[in-house]
Amino acid sequence: MSMIYDNWERLMAAVVKREEIWQLCHQHSRSHSICSESSDFSVGSQLSDVNLQKKEESVLRPVRKLVFLGGSTPGFSLKHILSLNDFQELGKGTFGTTILTHLLQDVQVSDQDFLVSGTKVVMKLLNEVKVTEEEFKQHTKVLGNCRHENVSAPRAYYFSNMANGKFVVYDYHSQGSLSDMLHGNKSRPNWESRLKIATGAARGIAHIHKQFGGKLAHGNIKSSNIFLNSQHYGCVSDFSLSGIMVKPQRGALGYHAPECDFKTVSLETDVYSFGNLLLELVTGKSPTEAQGFEKDMHLVSWARSIKSQEWAAKLFDKSLRRPIRHEKDVLEMMKTEIPGVHLLVKDSVTDLEALRANLGSHFHSMANVPANYFPAQDLLEMSKMMQVAMRCLAELPKDRPKMSDVVLMLENIEKLKLAR
């Protein structure tokens, strides 16, 4: 039993102070806590008399269980279903801390869905929940029913009376979040991947808006909440939790719309946040990143300050350029790097000396010729995505498109790529 206490203390130390955990774990007489899991298997075995058992059950608080949404099992005790020996803190976000752990037994979560022992799952430990247990239960069940290939819906929930004893369980995405891909140590995704991520995420958000009849927004759109599905399209997670949290509903720092200072999240603020996400995909910079910006200028202000004809040179992520390896690459580079070069360069060049002369005349010397370039087709698609982003980032909510319209715009850009 001491091992269970020690492991859970390590886990919850990511959210509350060590001394607070110790106090909560030893307040059995006052309230049931996550740490006091022994009650869920000791009460029934110690009481043999049926009448006495019923009397005790009417006095004791309900046993806390991890409940899988859509599953037929009433619930599982934490020590039987989640590993408290092997966990990893993935990060802290707007509403809480994210923990990676794994299942200790098989779970049938629906008639068609089955999770085997050892499956990695993500626990979202919520900071402060303002609703009752019944409201929390109903809210998470509603979210769990939001099934779509571009939405990562909650798998399970846990609610206790402990201060930080509420959490939601999600699927684990081994490739990491979009934030990891853009700002981590791995190689950044190419343009084709970014376009698929944007299109998939837009579909997921549009589905959430439609599923809940416009009454619930995502409320926390940011790159750390975007993952990849099995087709490598974006899918959204951590959605529609703002309504049950104590923390003001303004969205993630750098992504929230200007009116979020005065109003709660809405479908329109989701669109604004998604516009920030599109900027992040095109520029490779996070909304709060200052490098390369003027003083006190965030991503949106910086993007607005750049004229559209200068987007490629100043704004687009340079990691999206392609290396020059062949003659056709040189021709492509000249078309995008040298204004009016299409009048000089044909689809093929046989006179390499003439080609070198062209390069030398425009770049002064061969040493100044770019080592990489934006392909013309990619530039066209990036520019169109920028136009979508700027529409989403309209100052007034009424001037922003609906997410369903954003999906159509991005799908039209995808069609350009397929038509190459």
Contact between 176 and 184 (Cβ < 8 Å): yes
Contact between 226 and 202 (Cβ < 8 Å): no
pLDDT attached to residue 351: 61
Question: Comparing 226 with 93, which gets the higher pLDDT?
Answer: 226
Does the pLDDT of residue 252 top 80, yes or no? no
For residue 121, the cross-strand partners are 101, 171
pLDDT digits (tens, 9 = 90+) for 54-88: 444 444 455 578 989 877 777 888 888 988 777 88
Architecture per CATH, 2-41+59-171 = 2-Layer Sandwich (3.30)
Residue 115 backbone dihedrals phi, psi, to 5 degrees: -105, 130
Which residues are CB-contacts of 138 (< 8 A; sequence separation ≥ 6)?
A: none
pLDDT attached to residue 246: 67
Domain coordinates in residue numbering, the chain: 2-41+59-171, 186-307+381-418, 322-373
pLDDT attached to residue 36: 41
pLDDT digits (tens, 9 = 90+) for 386-418: 999 999 999 999 999 999 999 999 999 999 877
Question: Comparing 334 with 360, which gets the higher pLDDT?
Answer: 334
Contact between 221 and 274 (Cβ < 8 Å): yes
Residue 120 backbone dihedrals phi, psi, to 5 degrees: -75, 135
Which tokens belong to 291? 């490098």
The residue among 182, 181, 247 whose CA lies nearest residue 220 is 247
Q: Which residue has the tokens 């269980």?
A: 65
Contact between 186 and 139 (Cβ < 8 Å): no
Q: Which residue has the tokens 């369903």?
A: 404
pLDDT attached to residue 364: 67
**14, 109, 391, 394 from 312: Cα distances, Å:** 42, 48, 19, 22
pLDDT attached to residue 17: 39
Does the pLDDT of residue 251 top 60, yes or no? no
Contact between 142 and 13 (Cβ < 8 Å): no
Helix (H) or strand (E) holding 20: helix 18-25
Report the C-alpha gap between 94 and 81 in whole angstroms.
Answer: 27
Question: Comparing 93 with 311, which gets the higher pLDDT?
Answer: 311
Which residues are CB-contacts of 301 (< 8 A; sequence separation ≥ 6)?
A: 293
Q: Which residue has the tokens 């999206």?
A: 320
Report the C-alpha gap between 86 and 101 in whole angstroms.
Answer: 6
Report the C-alpha gap between 229 and 173 in whole angstroms.
Answer: 8
Q: Which residue has the tokens 């206490």?
A: 5
The residue among 345, 341, 187, 205 whose CA lies nearest residue 272 is 205
Q: With bands split at pLDDT 50, 70 and 90, how would you rate the model's confidence at 350?
A: low
Q: With bands split at pLDDT 50, 70 and 90, how would you rate the model's confidence at 356?
A: low
- DSSP code for 86: S
Which tokens belong to 277? 């996400």
pLDDT digits (tens, 9 = 90+) for 17-45: 344 433 433 333 343 444 444 333 333 33
CA dihedral sign of residues 289, 294, 298, 299: negative
pLDDT digits (tens, 9 = 90+) for 254-278: 787 888 766 678 999 999 999 999 9
Contact between 181 and 232 (Cβ < 8 Å): no
pLDDT attached to residue 27: 37
Largest Cα–Cα separation, the chain: 100
Which tokens belong to 122? 């993500």
Contact between 39 and 9 (Cβ < 8 Å): no
Does the pLDDT of residue 330 top 80, yes or no? no
**126, 284, 287, 369 from 291: Cα distances, Å:** 32, 11, 11, 26
Contact between 203 and 150 (Cβ < 8 Å): yes
pLDDT attached to residue 245: 77
State the average pLDDT for the chain.
Answer: 79
Which tokens belong to 35? 């740490």
The residue among 284, 162, 181, 307 whose CA lies nearest residue 234 is 181
pTM score: 0.81
pLDDT attached to residue 404: 97
* SS3 per-residue string spanning 218-284: CCCCCHHHEEECCCCCEEECCCCCHHHECCCCCCCCCCCCHHHHCCCCCHHHHHHHHHHHHHHHHHC
Contact between 32 and 64 (Cβ < 8 Å): yes
Report the C-alpha gap between 133 and 144 in whole angstroms.
Answer: 16
CATH dotted code for 186-307+381-418: 1.10.510.10
pLDDT attached to residue 296: 61
Report the C-alpha gap between 245 and 139 in whole angstroms.
Answer: 12
